[in-house]
Amino acid sequence: MRKKIPFVPSPHNVVEKMLSIADPKPDELLIDLGSGDGRIVISAARDYGCRSLGVEIDDVLIDYSRRRIERLGLENAEIVKADLHRFDLSNADVVTLYLLPETLKVLKPRLLNLKRGARIISHDYGIPGLKPDEVYIVRAGKPERSHLIYLYEID
């Protein structure tokens, strides 16, 4: 049994920067692994028009996210209850992550098998043993601190 990953939301301006880096197109699929309260899924669907899918295991967070999506009328956003370690990523154009290094290490082989041209955007933690294409710094939160955003492009 895997230990539960704690929910720590990405600050809104970090989400905005993550999505501006990923720049998902309307015909692309963004998958947020460990989608929490759905803020990345909702922002991507609303602001970029892409199909946006959140993968979450916590029923309370799933219900909260689904209610927000329904209230906003976002037909291109969805939250599914699934184990992020087993979820099919083969159609993903963008994968967003805010996961601990030990989880990223386990996911690394699956992430490296994303389709050509896919982008991985990871908040605060790099994927162990993988050199990012770019690293960005964003000041955010209360108290304010520096957040790192890692971009990996699959070629």
pLDDT (tens digit, 0 to 9) for every residue of the chain, 155 residues total?
A: 345 667 777 889 999 999 999 999 999 999 999 999 999 999 999 999 999 999 999 999 999 999 999 999 999 999 999 999 999 999 999 999 999 999 999 999 999 999 999 999 999 999 999 999 999 999 987 788 999 999 999 99
Three-class secondary structure of residue 18 per DSSP: helix
Domain ranges of the chain: 12-153
What is the rounded distance in angstroms from the CA atom of residue 104 to the CA atom of residue 87?
Answer: 14
Q: What is the DSSP string of 47-80?
A: HH--EEEEEE--HHHHHHHHHHHHHHT-TTEEEE
Bridge partners (DSSP) of residue 77 are 52
The tokens describing 72, both together, are 């906003």
pTM given for the model: 0.94
Question: Alpha-carbon distance 57 to 9, whole Å?
Answer: 15
C-alpha 114, offset from chain centre: 14
The domain made up of 12-153 is a member of CATH 3.40.50.150 = yes
85: tokens are 């370690």
Give, in order, the Cα–Cα distances in Å from 72 to each of 60, 69, 83, 104. Answer: 19, 5, 26, 31
